[in-house]
Amino acid sequence: MATATYTGTDKPNYLNWKTTVASWLLTYDHKRIGILYLVTISIFFALGGLAAAMIRMELATPKGDLLTSDVYNKMFTAHGVIMIFLFLIPSIPAVFGNFALPLMIGARDVAFPRLNLLSWYFFTAGALCVLVALFRGGIDTGWTFYTPYSSSFAKGEVSLAIVGIFLAGFASIFTGINFLVTIHKMRAPGMTWFRLPLFVWAMYATSLIQVLGTPVVAITLLLVAVERSFRIGIFDPNLGGDPILYQHLFWFYSHPAVYIMILPAMGVISEVISAFSKRRVFGYHFVAFSSLAIAIIGFLVWGHHMFSTGQSMYAGIVFSFLTWIVAIPSAIKTFNWMATIWKGRVHWETPMLYALGFMGLFVIGGLTGLHLAAMATNVHLTDTYFIVAHFHYVMVGGGIMGYLAALHFWWPKMTGRMYPEGWGKLAALLVFVGFNLTFFPQFILGYMGMPRRYHSYPEEWAVLNVLSTAGSSVLGLGYLLPLIYLTWSLKYGKVVTERNPWGARGLEWELVDTPPDPHNFERTPIVTRPAYDYNHPEEPTGFVPKPRPVVVGGKDG
């Protein structure tokens, strides 16, 4: 084999075996598509963060003095639309699902490489539509596009933004279909369902939501655009429509969408906790099935967004009850992670810090969710900063912490360079402190009744808002640091040539080069051990079978 003649750093890897622009833009390699997604969504993370910075600067003073209320509305809409549809939804699935999942199951690629690339193009096209809509005056509907405001009153390029989200939605569906099939059909011999790493189980549950939920929001937003263009009264009561119907259809996707953001992060946390505690994930089966349980129950709870908007009380009772049930699989995960760390040999590297941060913040985010799921407290807390704090604890404290954990965990594998550990730890600390300082005061503000989406507020809430704004600058610095030192490490970071810098278990660490070969494995590996088999360090998880020599003219020839 040609590749066998290379040694050490000379060996071509997926990054340097072809370097033209076309080789990147037309690549079918899942690892390169993961990188394409990484670069794209990093841009949107920065843009969404900029909008958030504007929001927090406005709220630093009680008076609405920095931005007019109109611009403020556009800012929080831009923040929400960009962060949710263009960053969080594709974040872990499209970047690390693409990069790591085929490696973890011992596959050469995903099942449909071309569909995978198409997904990135759909995403990019959709993202461009949203950007054009934002730059041509912006939209002020909020990321939820609630009718009848969005369909009959809002000015600006709402329809264009909807087209953008529609396209990005199909990118997400393509990713989901791809991973469903990949997990079903591309597992290496011996990689049974219960030997799968838990990240793969989480991605399976995520893909189910992507495939089952996204089309509903796609058609719903399309109907909003139709209503805007043709004055058809689907959702506007003035035209004979029903705005509650919009909310039902919208949240049928957009609640499960929260689990698209958090489930992959939970998968990452399982990987990281186990790798840095050097223990098998405690209660493997429970953690695996809790992902599926969250995905399934997650489809039955959307009505908790509508307790105070005119939904029937009896429907509310059922939705409230079902929402509480989601706490069970979430708690199963959390307790099992804690039990994994218990008596493990804990290593305090950056990914582990993020994982521990995730556990703390997710518990707060999850438990405050129970307050909101209770109908009586919901009436008091709905549409206040309590909600804002709650979902930021889940999506940012959960989703983005998981994303950063994954980024640092797989960074050496992706790039062949190690990030600077000291800076990494500092950034993780800043993110954790900054995050809590930003969002914890918002729980109190919300409880005191400060409504969301206003650009001014009474004097007595000034102290807590200043705290929050101060925290957001620490958080911003915490996010800026990785951007700088990770980019720096591409050129100056310590070169990693060993396959397994973390001493972790899993095919992607034990059998794949750093950075990976364009075809991942020399040949399809055979898996012989369960995932996270830290108790048997001498036994590899799997092996790559040796090629049989071809005897030309022999009895095989």
Partner 1 sequence: MSVKELEKSATLEHAGDGHFHGDGILGEQFETLEQQNTSYLIGMWAFIVQEVLFFGAIFTAYAIYRFKYVLEFTLAHHELSVPIGTLNTFVLLFSSYTMARAVRAAMQNRHKKQAFYLLLTFLFAGVFMVNKYFEYGAKFEHHLFPGGDYDAHTIVEHAEKKGELRVAEENGKEVYELGKTRDGQFTVFKKVTPEEFEQRTRLFFGFYFVMTGLHGLHVLVGMIIIAILIGRAWIDHMKNKPVADYMPVEMTGLYWHLVDIVWIFLFPLLYLIGR
Positions that interact with partner 1 (CB under 8 A): 1-3, 107-113, 115, 173, 176-178, 180-181, 184-186, 211-216, 218-220, 222-223, 226, 230-234, 239-242, 245, 249, 252, 517-519, 523-524, 547-548, 550, 556
Contacts of 524 (CB under 8 A, 6+ apart): 106, 107, 108, 188, 189, 544, 545
Closer Cβ to partner 1, 108 or 304, answer by number: 108
Closer Cβ to partner 1, 231 or 347, answer by number: 231
Rg, the chain, Cα only:
24
Closer Cβ to partner 1, 110 or 163, answer by number: 110
Closer Cβ to partner 1, 242 or 510, answer by number: 242
Helix (H) / strand (E) element for 391: namely helix 385-394
Between CA 250 and CA 266 the distance in angstroms is 25
Quote the least distance from Cβ 375 to partner 1, whole Å: 24
Residue 502's alpha-carbon distances to 51, 153, 313, 376, 418, in angstroms, are: 36, 55, 53, 48, 11
Quote the least distance from Cβ 550 to partner 1, whole Å: 5
Quote the least distance from Cβ 77 to partner 1, whole Å: 23
Is residue 97 a contact partner of residue 264, using CB atoms and an 8 Å limit? yes
Strand segments, DSSP code E, in 338-395 are: none
Contacts of 65 (CB under 8 A, 6+ apart): 58
For residue 416, which phi and psi values (nearest 5 degrees)?
75, 10
Closer Cβ to partner 1, 106 or 366, answer by number: 106
Identity of the amino acid at 449: G
How many CB atoms sit inside 10 A of residue 431's CB? 27
Is residue 263 a contact partner of residue 194, using CB atoms and an 8 Å limit? no
| Burial classification of residue 135, based on how many CB atoms lie within 10 Å of its CB (0-12 exposed, 13-18 middle, 19 or more buried) | exposed
Closer Cβ to partner 1, 17 or 534, answer by number: 17
Closer Cβ to partner 1, 21 or 551, answer by number: 551
Quote the least distance from Cβ 119 to partner 1, whole Å: 13
Quote the least distance from Cβ 513 to partner 1, whole Å: 12
Is residue 26 a contact partner of residue 120, using CB atoms and an 8 Å limit? no
| Burial classification of residue 367, based on how many CB atoms lie within 10 Å of its CB (0-12 exposed, 13-18 middle, 19 or more buried) | middle
Quote the least distance from Cβ 383 to partner 1, whole Å: 25
Tokens 């704090």 correspond to: 389
Quote the least distance from Cβ 521 to partner 1, whole Å: 11
Closer Cβ to partner 1, 12 or 451, answer by number: 12
Is residue 54 a contact partner of residue 67, using CB atoms and an 8 Å limit? yes
Q: Which two tokens stand for residue 218?
A: 């796609």
Helix (H) / strand (E) element for 418: namely strand 417-418
Closer Cβ to partner 1, 226 or 480, answer by number: 226
Q: Write the DSSP symbol of residue 302.
A: G
Closer Cβ to partner 1, 2 or 313, answer by number: 2
Quote the least distance from Cβ 293 to partner 1, whole Å: 20
Quote the least distance from Cβ 180 to partner 1, whole Å: 5
Quote the least distance from Cβ 557 to partner 1, whole Å: 9
Closer Cβ to partner 1, 239 or 448, answer by number: 239
Quote the least distance from Cβ 544 to partner 1, whole Å: 12
- Annotate 451-469 with DSSP letters as a single string: BSS-S---GGGHHHHHHHH
For the chain, give the number of residues.
Answer: 557
